[in-house]
Every structure is written in structure tokens, then in C-alpha cells.
Amino acid sequence: MIGILVELLVSWLLLWLCHRKNLSVLGLLPSKKLLADFLVGCLISALLCAIYFFSIVRISGTQLQVNQGFSFMDFLSGFWWTLKSVLFEEFLFRGALLYVAIQIFGTKSGCILSAVAFGIYHWFSYGVFGDPMQMTLIFIVTGIGGLMFAYAFAVTKSLYLPIGLHLGWNVVTIVVFSQGPLGHQLLITTSEQKLTGILSLLLFLFQLLALPIFTYLYLRRRRKEISLAILH
């Protein structure tokens, strides 16, 4: 949490020094529409992530079991850890730096720069630096995710939607399906089977594109709403 507070302080200084702006340009002040963005992003992201993992389990024949030692307090602890990690990454990659990049280079280039930085960052956070195959896969997956989050910020002028999209996916991945640094959480794999061939490719494409496609369609509607609000 201290790291997030430091991020906010540095973000405020950067915004003030570069554009004489404050943290309000990050859209942090809540409103009904922004809270709706957060909830929609979080719920749809969690749903698509659950579909992805349950599809792998069903098709591959992987065995899952509920962790009997997993308590509600464990869930809260895992959720809190995931929330902090999401906030840290969002404030870093979709906060002041993205705002400044958009002002200097334009929306398209600013979002692409943010996505590239997000992909490279995950080489180190996932510990795959030096493995070309893993680096390529991680860069593609997280880079597309980073582009989606950046575009969500650019359209809504707020961090609520990217945080919701990011949080929903990560909570299901890490806390529900135990695929992350926290180890065994709610569901534990007892007999894992690897997918190969066309089914593996199709599920990879689902993981890669399902949420970005939903986000694009959602933001297209949001842009129309914003345009109408400006006209009125």
C-alpha cells in the first residue's frame, strides 16, 4: 500500500510539472457512470476468465477440487493482495504516464507505448526473461491486455474501467483457480492434463481476444454516449 501512495505522489508531481494538472485528470472521483464501468468491467472479465478456465478443465479432463482449508478470510486476503497488485500496475501504466504520453504523442501512440511497456514489464514479473518463446507469448498476451486497458482509460478518461477489467480477470485467475504467486487458493488442480492441437489454439485465442472484443464493443457504445452528452 505504501508503494501505491508513493505512486500517487509521484503521479501528482509529474502531472503538475508537465501540464499543471492534478490527479483529477485520472478520473478518480467516483460517479454513477464510472462505478457502472467498474462493475461491468469486473463482472464480465471475471465471467470470461471463468469460462476460459472451466473450458480447459472440461476439455482436457483436468481434475479440480475445492481447497477444504480455504476460508473466507483467506479469500479476503487473496482479494486484497490482488487488488493492491492491480492498483499498482494501473497507476503505473494507465495513470499519469499514459495521460502525459497521450498529450504528447496522441491517443493511438500513447496507448501503444503503454501496452509495450506493460508487456515488457511482465517479462520480469513472470520471471521469463531469457526464454524467447515464453517472452513472446507473455508479451503478446499482456501487451494486448495492456492495449485494452489503455484504450479503456483513453475513452472513459478514468481508471475505473481498466481497474475493473484487470481486477475481475486476476481475481478469478489467482484466487479462484490458484494460477498465481499465492499458491493454493479456492480450487486446486489434482490431475492436470495438457491441451494440444486445435483445441489448445482455440482456447488461447479465446483468452487473447474475448475480453478485448467485449471491451471494444462496450467502449464504442460509451463513446457514443459521451458524444451525445457533449452535444447536449
Q: Which residues pair with 64 in a beta bridge?
A: 189
Residues ≥6 apart with Cβ < 8 Å to 23: 8, 11, 12, 15
Predicted confidence (pLDDT) per residue in 4-45, tens digit: 888 889 889 999 998 899 999 999 999 999 999 999 999 999
Rounded to two decimals, the pTM is 0.92
**Residue 83, amino acid:** L
Predicted confidence (pLDDT) per residue in 146-179, tens digit: 999 999 999 999 999 999 999 999 999 999 999 9
Which pLDDT band holds residue 232 (cuts at 50, 70, 90)?
Answer: low
